[in-house]
Amino acid sequence: MTRDPARRAVFLAVLVGAGYMFPLYLAGAVGVAIRADLGLTGTQLGAVVSTFFAVGAVLLPVGGRVVDRIGPRLSARLAVAGAAACLLAVAVLGGSYPGLLAAMAIGGVGSTVAAPVGGMLIARAVPPGRRPLAFAMERSSIPAATLLAGASVPTLAAVVHWRVVFAVGAVLVAAILLVPVPRLAEVVARQDRAPLRPLTPLLLVTAMFVLGSAAATALSTFLVGYGAGIGLGAGTAGIALAATSAATIAVRMTLGLLGVRVPGRATSAALLLVGAAGFALLAVPSAAAAWAGALLAGAAGWGWTGVLGLAVVQSHPDAPGASTALVQAGGCAGGIAGPLLMGALVEHAGYPAGWLVLAGLAALAGLVAAANGGIWRWISQGVDPRTGTSLTSERTGVSYSGTTKGVAVENGPLTGIRVLDVSTILAGPLCCRILGDHGADVIKIEHPEAGDGMRGHGAAKDGVPLWWKEISRNKRAVGLKLSTPDGADLLLRLAADADVLVENFRPGTLERWGIGPERLHEVNPGLVIVRITGFGQTGPYAARAGFGTLAEAMSGFAHLTGEAGGPPTLPAFGLADSICGIAASSAATMALYARERNGGRGEIVDMNLLEPIMDAVGPGPMVYDQLGIVGERHGNRSTNNAPRNTYRTKDGRWVAVSTSAQRIAERVMELVGHPEVVAEPWFATGHGRAAHADLLDAYVGGWIGERTEAEVTAAFETAGAAVAPVYSARDLVEDEHVRSTGMLTTVPDDDFGPLLMHNVMWRSTGAPGRIRFTGRALGADTDEVLAELGVDEHEVARLRAERVVA
């Protein structure tokens, strides 16, 4: 079984979907035998199936909320147990009509948690790009059960009693309970009760499910009986039912493979209208019409649900279980009405009249689909369903109601990935913050007494570090002393269910504690291990203490930075650490992708502070190797082009000018009143202009010095030239572009209330990053995380008393 949480989630969803609906399809497949044995009318047989749906329709809204709270593992077990109990009850109690009704009621109870499980699992554990196919597979599990029942059961029922068939089905479904289901609680956000907004489009979807389910359920319940009545025979009619299910699967899987390229609104409407034509064709009493009509009615009339299931959870990401449950309740309502209506029509007006009525229901559902633009708008236009804002300009779009600690982002690209942040200071924590911003469940592990040194970096307010709130956002905080045997054991237990571990101890430290890569891979071969050090795991400098300042010095950055003839200049912030942290997040995601392609084996990433900034400084080593030239300091000037500098304005502000492109350089000189230099031969190249930087700076600096910053920026913008003001933090906060594009955002914090901080680094329409909560107090989530490992309260108290945890 793969360790990919997304695949595990889909596997579980398919099993649950196939199992919980199996009683209904057995009932349809042996409907003729049930009626003959118990002397039931068509209406009474319809009532048997409707009982299952009636219980589900009443309890599903509650079941959806329960699923969102208790997670997939228990929900899946309850769902499968309910289906097996229903099948067994039919075998035991099915000798009478009341007993048959009671047995189906048991199945209905199980469906109240089973129906929402698939949608919730996929919403919480499957990245958005893979969701269309995931929903297609989950939705196809239900007709797959129909296919199995239709292909084999009618023939089997001709040999053994139909109650024996249900007993065999109970054993098969119960066997699903024996399948080892991987731990998935960590990829499910146990949300508080979230409102179902937008509601109107969701209600229209529910109406579609009422109508579509009524038609589809009646088809599966009465097709075998109808086929037998027109001379196909029970076995052949069962094969027709199986073929109908196969066609439904084919349509759903095709739409899933096409993914977001499918226009959901038009596709759903068209399929339902084609399905309506199929039901109308069934009204023609011939074997050929029955085959063609059944295929069209099943494939088109019910093949759209995977596309719509995706739309529902995408538009209601805070409550995927509850939103799915409401729609499924509509399906149950249709499941009640369809068989009852069809049974009555068959009994009093005949099959043709019944098929025509079902055609009308499917056509009406198609019209509702065509009218329901709201449910698709959130996906096709990249609009956040709760705020109506465009995700192309708002990266988070998150609706806050306090600093709740959702374990996973519902639609982040790293949803379902668990990261252990065992690093300190800046590079490793920044790497993990980026992963957490994009959906990963990050567990921040710190020394239970000293904590991460980042807690002491930067300014503080009322004794609370401000930088910590940002660098450790979206991370659950656990205090754990790794140097102790108990602490090492707990880390290994956490690593067993993790996908990425990021650490920055000196080489050999983890090995000394018994938790090095070799041991970690023994408990979890798929774990990606990112090791960040000053100089790498090997080489003569490996054992040296390493900090960003040293990397900035050795990389060539300090040598090139500063005024000509002045000392080398270091940056006033963690430049090397920040570059390394961003690079490490990229390395971690590449390693996760590589794991998908190499059979699930996790890689060890050896990352050092020196290499990324050395790369960023430029091709200095290559230039020296080929030309023997060593770069020197030139202040704010560039050796590649000119004018390039900072210039003081009339009102005492500073602006920066860049002319990397030839045409931009020409525009600048024309703007400042010296177009004659453009005609000089040396002006035609960047190096030529750089050689005349004194002259060009004098022209540009003189012009800028006679004007205010506002006048300079306005003139440059009009001329199509490149200029920017030199900003302080205050200027950034006040800048209209920075605020309007969401580069800075306000997040609620337990200590400070609304807290301004940097937003997620980039925009993404399909899988936006989100800030769920700010950096937390040391050990704030220790109890919760240890409880997920199965550590009881007494053991936690002992560990805390021995200062192993905090």
For residue 206, the model assigns a pLDDT of 79
The answer to whether the beta carbons of residues 293 and 359 sit under 8 Å apart is no
The whole-angstrom separation of Cα 121 and Cα 73 is 10
| Residues near 692 by beta carbon (within 8 Å), at least 6 away in sequence | 642, 680, 682, 683
The answer to whether the beta carbons of residues 686 and 766 sit under 8 Å apart is no
- Span 169-193, average pLDDT: 59
Residue with tokens 């059960």: 145
For residue 291, the model assigns a pLDDT of 79
Is 577 among the catalytic positions?
A: yes
The whole-angstrom separation of Cα 787 and Cα 473 is 22
For residue 261, the model assigns a pLDDT of 52
For residue 298, the model assigns a pLDDT of 76
The pLDDT tens digits of the residues spanning 337-363 come to 887 788 888 888 888 898 899 888 888
* Average pLDDT, rounded, for the chain: 82
CA torsion angle 705 706 707 713 (round to 10)? -50
Predicted TM-score (pTM) of the model is 0.56
- Span 476-504, average pLDDT: 95
- Span 710-725, average pLDDT: 95
Tell me the pairing of strands 464-465 and 460-461. antiparallel
Q: Is the pLDDT of residue 392 over 70?
A: no
For residue 318, the model assigns a pLDDT of 57
Pick the more confident residue, 25 or 214.
214
Phi and psi torsions of 569, nearest 5°: -120, 130
Find the catalytic residue in 437, 441, 499, 577: 577
- Span 759-780, average pLDDT: 88
For residue 395, the model assigns a pLDDT of 40
User: Got the DSSP string for 202-225?
Assistant: HHHHHHHHHHHHHHHHHHHHHHHH
Residue with tokens 């769920």: 772
Give the model's confidence band at 677: pLDDT under 50 very low, under 70 low, under 90 confident, else very high.
very high
E strand or H helix at 502, and its extent? strand 500-503
The pLDDT tens digits of the residues spanning 45-84 come to 777 877 877 887 788 777 777 776 776 667 777 878 888 8
The pLDDT tens digits of the residues spanning 261-301 come to 556 677 788 888 888 888 888 888 888 888 788 888 877 76
Of 139, 120, 147, nearest to 302 by C-alpha is 139
Neighbours of 252 (CB within 10 A): 29
In order of their start, the domains of the chain are: 5-178+192-380 (1.20.1250.20), 418-549+572-608+777-801 (3.40.50.10540), 645-726 (3.30.1540.10)
The pLDDT tens digits of the residues spanning 694-703 come to 999 999 999 9
Amino acid at 563: E
The pLDDT tens digits of the residues spanning 570-625 come to 999 999 999 999 999 999 999 999 998 887 889 999 999 999 999 999 999 999 99
pLDDT over 70 for what percent of the chain? 82
> Which of the listed ranges 317-321, 389-393, 799-803 does the model predict with the highest average pLDDT?
799-803
For residue 317, the model assigns a pLDDT of 58
Give the model's confidence band at 195: pLDDT under 50 very low, under 70 low, under 90 confident, else very high.
low
Residue with tokens 């919403």: 123
For residue 152, the model assigns a pLDDT of 67
Task: Report how far apart the first and last C-alpha atoms of the chain are (Å, whole number).
Answer: 35
The pLDDT tens digits of the residues spanning 220-249 come to 777 777 776 776 665 666 667 667 777 777
Q: Is the pLDDT of residue 658 over 90?
A: yes
Structure tokens at 505: 């101890």
For residue 54, the model assigns a pLDDT of 80
Neighbours of 730 (CB within 10 A): 8
pLDDT over 90 for what percent of the chain? 43
Q: Is the pLDDT of residue 398 over 50?
A: no
The answer to whether the beta carbons of residues 591 and 501 sit under 8 Å apart is no
